[in-house]
Amino acid sequence: MIRPRTLRPALLHLALGGALLGATTLSYADEQPAFQKNSPDILLGPLFNDVQSAKLFPDQKTFADAVPKSDPLMILADYRMQHTQSSFDLRHFVEMNFTLPAEGEKYVPPAGQSLREHIDDLWPVLTRTTDKASNKWDSLLPLPKPYVVPGGRFREVYYWDSYFTMLGLAESGHWDKISDMVDNFAWEIDTFGHIPNGNRSYYLSRSQPPFFSMMVELLATHDSDALKKYRPQMEKEYAYWMEGVDSLQPGQANQRVVKLDDGSVLNRYWDDRDTPRPESWLDDVNTAKNNPNRPATEIYRDLRSAAASGWDFSSRWMDDPQKLGTIRTTSIVPVDLNALMFKMEKLLARASQDSGDSAAASQYEALATARQKAIENHLWNDKEGWYADYDLKSKKVRNQLTAAALFPLYVKAASQERADKVAAATSARLLKPGGITTTTINSGQQWDAPNGWAPLQWVATEGLQNYGQNKVAMDVTWRFLKNVQHTYDREKKLVEKYDVSTTGTGGGGGEYPLQDGFGWSNGVTLKMLDLVCPKEKPCDSVPENQPAANDEAAPVKAAAQ
């Protein structure tokens, strides 16, 4: 068992000293159960390895989510005694000693539902609670309040998915669910020092794209005190991402933070462990075996760090798009992550101002300004005309165009001139019949062409609107919505990802079959429906005709200051 982590108030590029806060935590009386923080591969050692290697289950996540019926140490001792016997049956041993995750009930929607009605009816179906008295050996981490899962094989809440799910919950008027989920994430920050990838013990060693401050910003449109209330947790999360920055010399990196040769401070994705992921154990082991010239631990860390990015997996992280073993996530400084960090700094400045702490507000503004300059200097490819990732090994910006190029527009960190160039590149190279493609490379990985993902469609739409690029924004919105509608008309479900090379087809690739549900697709679809229909006459399904780009429902927002 691990105790809640004690955090220093902050480790910032500019010393905030005591100005940060007398950090407070949210109080949940009788809501902090004892639970297991050790990942199942640690608890079960050779038994875990042997079960996953034996391919007892089609999905490696099944055994990672299995619950021991007794103390894992006792189960492991029994295994060591029995497994060499000629009559030993591994599957029987697992069935006797573990409760396997139940098959989720198949949701059958009522006939004749519109797209909006279907999504609205799904919210309670996707809502979960965790039993405070649940088995203490369970890898599922109990949360104080109800939460919404993405759907499909996913029985837990996921960090960055949840922001886009919340956008839909807001459209459906479920502010109670949004508040509950923000409370849960704040509790995780107070308990673990960060928001893990998901509420599983095996996800504790990493986070995901940091959207917590934007969740609070969303909640603040309904609860004006939200930024002030959650400021302590916002600052703790910032401290997690910036941990170790004060001791870095130019050209050094530590966990999630890097300092470039010119002193610029930026962030990267990182997982604290360098072992196979329990939920994809055999896949990772085989990836390492197929690449004997690299240390296995290095490959494992880069695979895990790609999972932290949310883009697992993509040619974006690989030297050879066709060879997963060339992945090197930790030597890449991602443009989308640093755009989100810029947004976090801006929102921390706003939260500090709301709290009456103008000194801290000024310091966070200075941090945001410094990061914006670093983004412009190091994450802009002037030759190509788009934002891209920075390569720590070659010490230069990469050339690959991906949908991540739109994140500086999304957070209003770009200049108008550069935003216009990104819009042109998006229209010419990323925009397809069914939305924008994740990258221009077809590698067979799920975060590559021809797949399009709902969160990236929304980032593109919002980002383009921020700079008056309404025509391209409407093209993205319309094409993706038609894709969603065509798929729904045929299959009566929304899915995790879509093939955008056409319309009406779910995406492929990845380590598991296509999942339905699906939280972030639901949320983005509801937001986009409001963009294509007049406010006075909301639509329940995608209309037949595309509205004009300057439609009142898609106003131009202020560009970056």
pLDDT at 2: 34
Name the active-site residue from 188, 243, 284, 496: 496
| pLDDT per position as a tens digit, 203-223 | 999 999 999 999 999 999 999
Is the four-CA dihedral 380, 383, 389, 390 of positive or negative sign? Answer: negative
State yes or no: 513 annotated in a binding site. no
Percent of all residues in the chain with a pLDDT value above 90, rounded to a whole number: 83
Residue 92: burial class (beta carbons within 10 Å; 0-12, 13-18, 19+): exposed
State yes or no: 278 annotated in a binding site. yes
pLDDT at 551: 41
| Residue 243 designated active-site | no
User: pTM for this one?
Assistant: 0.93
Tell me which of 47, 78, 100 is where a domain ends.
Answer: 100
pLDDT at 68: 97
State yes or no: 206 annotated in a binding site. yes
Q: Find out whether 34 and 386 touch, Cβ atoms under 8 Å.
A: no
- Neighbouring CB atoms inside 10 A of 283's CB total 16
pLDDT at 232: 99
Domain that holds residue 79: 1-9+36-56+67-100
CA distance 75 to 290: 32
116-130, 402-416, 459-473: lowest mean pLDDT where?
116-130
CA distance 337 to 270: 12
Is the four-CA dihedral 240, 245, 246, 248 of positive or negative sign? Answer: positive
Longest dimension (CA), the chain: 74
pLDDT at 33: 54
For the chain, the average pLDDT equals: 92
| pLDDT per position as a tens digit, 317-373 | 999 999 999 999 999 999 999 999 999 999 999 999 999 999 999 999 999 999 999
State yes or no: 161 annotated in a binding site. yes
State yes or no: 162 annotated in a binding site. no
The residues, ordered by sequence, that sit 6+ positions from 85 with a Cβ below 8 Å of its Cβ are none
CA distances from 357 to 20, 86, 364, 397, 526 (A): 8, 70, 11, 37, 37
State yes or no: 279 annotated in a binding site. yes
33-47, 300-314, 410-424, 471-485: lowest mean pLDDT where?
33-47
Say whether pLDDT at 536 is over 90: no
CA distance 549 to 555: 9
| Residue 312 designated active-site | yes
| pLDDT per position as a tens digit, 38-71 | 999 999 999 999 999 999 999 999 999 999 999 9
Say whether pLDDT at 30 is over 50: no
In the predicted model, what is the mean pLDDT of residues 20-42?
65
CA distance 344 to 212: 8
Asked whether residue 484 is domain-assigned, the answer is yes
| pLDDT per position as a tens digit, 267-314 | 999 999 999 999 999 999 999 999 999 999 999 999 999 999 999 999
Q: How sure is the predictor about 16, in pLDDT bands with cuts at 50, 70 and 90?
A: very low
In the predicted model, what is the mean pLDDT of residues 537-551?
85
Q: How sure is the predictor about 34, in pLDDT bands with cuts at 50, 70 and 90?
A: low
pLDDT at 355: 98
State yes or no: 197 annotated in a binding site. yes
State yes or no: 208 annotated in a binding site. yes
State yes or no: 445 annotated in a binding site. no
pLDDT at 306: 99
Asked whether residue 430 is domain-assigned, the answer is yes
State yes or no: 207 annotated in a binding site. yes
| pLDDT per position as a tens digit, 111-133 | 999 999 999 999 999 999 987 65
Say whether pLDDT at 11 is over 90: no
Asked whether residue 43 is domain-assigned, the answer is yes
Q: Which of 368, 492, 535, 505 minimizes the C-alpha distance to 433? A: 505
pLDDT at 135: 85
pLDDT at 549: 80
Say whether pLDDT at 487 is over 90: yes
Asked whether residue 433 is domain-assigned, the answer is yes
88-97, 252-261, 404-413, 538-547: lowest mean pLDDT where?
538-547
In the predicted model, what is the mean pLDDT of residues 101-113?
84
370-379, 433-442, 539-548: lowest mean pLDDT where?
539-548
Q: How sure is the predictor about 512, in pLDDT bands with cuts at 50, 70 and 90?
A: low
In the predicted model, what is the mean pLDDT of residues 128-157?
87
Asked whether residue 370 is domain-assigned, the answer is no
Q: State how many domains the chain has.
A: 2
What pairing do the DSSP bridges indicate for beta strands 386-387 and 390-391? unpaired
- Neighbouring CB atoms inside 10 A of 399's CB total 12
Asked whether residue 243 is domain-assigned, the answer is no
Q: How sure is the predictor about 5, in pLDDT bands with cuts at 50, 70 and 90?
A: very low
Q: Which of 485, 457, 484 minimizes the C-alpha distance to 473? A: 457
| pLDDT per position as a tens digit, 152-177 | 668 899 999 999 999 999 999 999 99
Asked whether residue 533 is domain-assigned, the answer is yes
pLDDT at 163: 99
Name the active-site residue from 312, 389, 448, 499: 312
Q: How sure is the predictor about 560, in pLDDT bands with cuts at 50, 70 and 90?
A: very low
DSSP E strands: which ranges in 199-347? 252-254, 257-259, 265-267, 332-333
Asked whether residue 266 is domain-assigned, the answer is no
Q: Which of 51, 174, 176, 183 minimizes the C-alpha distance to 121? A: 174
